[in-house]
Amino acid sequence: MRLLSTPGGGNRGEISGSKLRSGMMYLLFLLSFVMFCHGCPEKCRCVSQTVKCQNINLNAIPQSLPNNTEVLFVTGNYISGLGMDSFPTRLELLTDLYLSGNEIESVDAKTFENLPNLVRLDLSDNKILNFSEGAFPHDSKLQVFNLSNSFHNHTFMDVVLGFLQSENLHQLTVLDLSNNDLVILPDDIFSNLPHLVNLSLQNSSIISIPNGTFKVPMLHDLDLRDNSFRNLPTTILEQINLKPGLHMRLAGNPWRCDCFIEDMLLWLKNTTQIIDRQDLTCAVPEALRQRPLLHLEQSQLKCPGDMEGVLETSYVFLGLVLALIGVIFLLVLYLNRKGIKRWIYNIRDACRDHMEGYHYRYEINSDPRLANLSINSDV
């Protein structure tokens, strides 16, 4: 009987041990969950290892963040600046940080020093005027950086974007600078981003591609849609050809379809690197407006020096000159209105006196009695 009961007792012991381990794991999970919830900042929501502090009128990053936070959303608030005190506690597990729509104007040195494993950072929809080159640690692991619609003053753009030329973002693979008024980017602005694969400069008013852009060794996707390009010079086309793995988007630019675009047009018809080449259309001249570039013939491309264009320009210039002369004349009349009025009155009085003299003489000549009276009075 003992021999028969021994296996059963062993099974019961194993089952009890399994239940005990499961219970302990459950208690540990529950304890960690309670501790995590206990450390959740006020007004924020904490789920698993994600903290969300969205649209709650914060003016600073919450300080009491759980140590095991992996994803942090602080969006739609009123945080004017980021500095060393924004993340005073080291958050080893934080990989994703979303700070969009906070009206941030400055990012000071060592802001992200306590976020050693930060991989994705979103600073879109802010108003950044100053971004310190030392904001990131030297061994930063940042890979995805979103700065869309974050800069609104292109005058100091070379200063604001100076942090891209630091040596702290070597691991960066995706950079979004879309929807910014960049106009002109500094040369070699991306030269210290050796692992950059995806670069978006869409809708940033750019008029020329910065020198050194095509020297980024791993660049694969370049988005240049909705900018201010009118033509791509031959030097740029040659650089693109040297990177056969590069894919670009160029739709939405105001292409000027004249004789200067012939090289680009020929290149465009033979390349496969422009993903949206079917969507490229002319902006000027008016006769070719909205005409797809791929449907153009060389005979349709007129040079700006054609006689028709010269005459049109001459007529416009002549009209402007005549309009200017007319404005100046009216201005002179307005400034001398009192003198002109006085001069007109003097002329009127002189004419009136002169006419009265003629009228008097006419009456004398027409009436003999007045003529005799006039002669007698003279005697």
204-239 per-position pLDDT tens digit = 999 999 888 899 999 999 999 999 999 999 999 999
Tell if the pTM clears 0.95, that is, is over it: no
The sheet with strand 120-122 has its strands ordered as 45-47, 50-54, 71-75, 96-98, 120-122, 144-146, 174-176, 198-200, 221-223, 247-249
The residue among 352 and 83 whose pLDDT is bigger is 83
Distance CA(313)–CA(256), nearest Å, equals 17
Residues 292-314: tens digit of each pLDDT: 999 999 889 888 765 455 556 67
Residues 101-127: tens digit of each pLDDT: 999 999 999 999 999 999 999 999 999
Cβ neighbours of residue 333 under 8 Å, at least 6 residues apart? 340
CA 366 distance to own-chain centroid:
90
Q: Is the pLDDT of residue 136 over 50?
A: yes
Instruction: Find the helix or strand (DSSP H, E) in which 223 lies.
Output: strand 221-223
Q: Residues 312-331: what's their mean pLDDT? A: 84
How many C-alpha atoms does 11 have within 13 Å on its Cβ side?
A: 5
Query: In which band, very low, low, confident or very high, does the pLDDT at 196 lie, cut at 50, 70 and 90?
Result: very high
Among 203, 268, 202, which Cα is nearest to 232's?
Answer: 268
CA 267 distance to own-chain centroid:
28
